[in-house]
Structure 1
Amino acid sequence: MEFPIRPALARAVPTLPTGPGWHFEIKLDGHRMILRRTDDGVICYSRTGRTVTSHWMDLAVPAMVLPPGTVLDGEAHPDHGQDALAARPYTERRTALVDVLAHVGPPLQPVLATDDRDTALQWYETLQPQGVEGVVAKPSGSAYPFGGRTVWCVDCTIW
């Protein structure tokens, strides 16, 4: 993997997808960041590839407990939602993310996730005052689309 990576992007669509095989995560309002644990430390990149580690030391320091080679993609803000990067299907990436962050704790933590569309719609309709700006929808078998422009749904991402 070449760094800095190009994170997945999105485009607007009118509604959340229906049918089997979709997984949903809340989308927090914040600064997009890629966090990379190297053998020697932690490097944080902005969406454009600029090194921003010094701006996010509150994330870089706790990330030192992550295994070298770990790469996280997420929104950095007071709730610090994160999403693991890998060339594996979403369900495997999500499991790996939960496992790798299990012993880290806040501020590095996975965002809420569900495979129930009604729950995702309820999150979208009720959690905006807590900083949730949308819902991310991902097919269970999808690989991470490095640099690709994927589908959004009026504040909801689909990839």
Structure 2
Amino acid sequence: MDLPVMPPVSPMLAKATSGIPDPTKHAPGLSFEPKWDGFRCLVFKDGDEIELTSRNTKPLTRYFPEVVAAMREQLPDRCVLDGELFVAVGSRLQFEVLQERIHPAASRVAMLAEATPAGYVAFDLLALGDTSFLDRPFAERRAALEEALAGLDGPTYLTRTTTDTDEAQSWFEQFEGAGLDGVIAKPLGAAYQPGARTMLKIKHQRTADVVVAGYRLHKTSTTEKPLLGSLLLGLYDEGQLQHVGVSASFTAARRVTLLDELRPLETGIEDHPWQAWAGDAIANPDRVPGTQSRWSAGKDLSFVPLRPERVLEVGYDHMEGRRFRHTAQFKRWRPDRDPESCGYGQLEEPVGYELGKILSID
């Protein structure tokens, strides 16, 4: 492989902002695009030789043979692209199904490539032919990308963009219904800066009242100085407390005080709503804490059960199935809430939207 931009390259990153930003404060303006919920992926193509690398520069090529085959046919002969790998089931992106593709067995990868084929959506250009585009402004990179990828109809796609803030706001409100994660804003005059947070991301922010049902100790916790690592959160569904996610970002001092607060609630697993899963050795459909999967192999997943008596308000961006997609943010205790009243009905459900409409830029 001989390209003007060679791996490893760390992709350009984004910093969070609240609401659609004002383009006039970012001369010569901003370009908006959907925020895809998949695996960030750089593509290095030199003829039939293709290498896919992740956000942390690890190889992804072997896990997506169907995407590699499509790229040989659809992409320019020599190019370096930034984009996202995704899996869609029906009209929605499904991140959990995408995660299943990272498997050590080649036979399993081949089976999943046929059963749940992935796609790739490109949103930036790092090199084309013998030319590096790293130092060129995004407006120029986008124009060259549109010309190079004109006419793609899948499984390799070109993301849509707009400079209209009203349209970007509409995307933010509607595209979540197809499983997307928000909106990205890119300064039209900015060069591609690997590893730098030069883009802006606008994500959905919501709150929910959840039941604290257990905790894990921090990886640095010792017998002499125990520290809380994460809170295990639950929501009730038809009388059953289901595991919905974790809250884990605390200062060192807060890890100590939270542990002191929760000690009186400690109980045995035999008296806990999740006691039925105490002996599980593999992941179960509810992904209850303490169960193993290939993502957690080798990790200590033991947890301290708590009587489900305390309610916590957390912040979250969106759901993946019946769980928080990302770690929830601790907001405040809710002593005014009854734990049994904390159910899935309080969660906002986005209106459905067809993924195919987003992938089409005609």
Structure 2: 5+ residue runs without aligned partners?
88-118, 127-132, 205-362
2:153 counterpart letter in structure 1:
G
Report the TM-score when normalising by structure 2: 0.41
Residue 104 (structure 1) shift: 4.1
Kept in 1: contact 2:33–2:184 (CA 8 A): yes
Counterpart mapping for 1:124-139 below 5 A: 124-139=172-187
| Identity rate, percent | 34
Q: Please tell me whether residue 15 in structure 1 is matched to residue 19 in structure 2.
A: yes
Look up the equivalent residue of 1:140 and give its one-letter code. L
Q: Is the 8 A contact 1:22 1:137 kept in 2?
A: yes
Residue 113 (structure 1) aligned with residue 122 (structure 2): no
2: distance between equivalents of 1:121 and 1:25? 11
In structure 1, the partner of 2:36 is 28
Q: Equivalent residue for 1:140?
A: 188
Helix, strand or coil for the counterpart of 1:71?
A: strand
**TM-score with structure 1 length normalisation?**
0.88
- Contact kept, 8 Å, 1:90 with 1:143, in 2: the verdict is yes
Matched to 1:6, the amino acid is S
Checking the alignment, whether the CA contact within 8 Å between 1:62 and 1:104 is kept in structure 2 is no
- 2:197 aligned with 1:149, yes or no? yes
Whole-Å Cα distance in 2 between the matches of residues 126 and 104 of structure 1?
24
One of 139, 157, 171 as aligned partner of 1:91: 139
Structure 2 letter corresponding to 1:76: L
Larger relative contact order (Cα-Cα within 8 Å, sequence gap ≥ 6): 1
The CA distance in 1 between the partners of 2:171 and 2:190, in whole Å, is: 23
RMSD value, Cα: 1.9
Q: Deviations over 1:11-63 (max 9, x none)?
A: 21212221341110111100111111024411111111111111122221121
> Which residue number in structure 2 is paired with residue 43 of structure 1?
51
Q: How many residues are paired up?
A: 156
1:56 to 43, 64, 67: 64
Flag the structure with larger Rg.
2
Question: Out of 78, 84, 88, which is 1:69 matched to?
Answer: 78
**Is the Cα–Cα contact under 8 Å of residues 184 and 202 in structure 2 kept in the other structure?**
no
| Amino acid in structure 2 at the alignment position of 1:27 | K
1:81 aligned partner, one-letter code: V
Within 2, Cα distance between the matches of 1:19 and 1:27? Answer: 18
User: Which amino acid in 1 is paired with 2:141?
Assistant: R
* Amino acid in the other structure paired with 1:82: A
Measured against aligned partners, the alpha-carbon deviations of 1:68-124 in whole angstroms (never above 9, x if no partner) come to 430111110035321222322111111221222124431111112101011001000
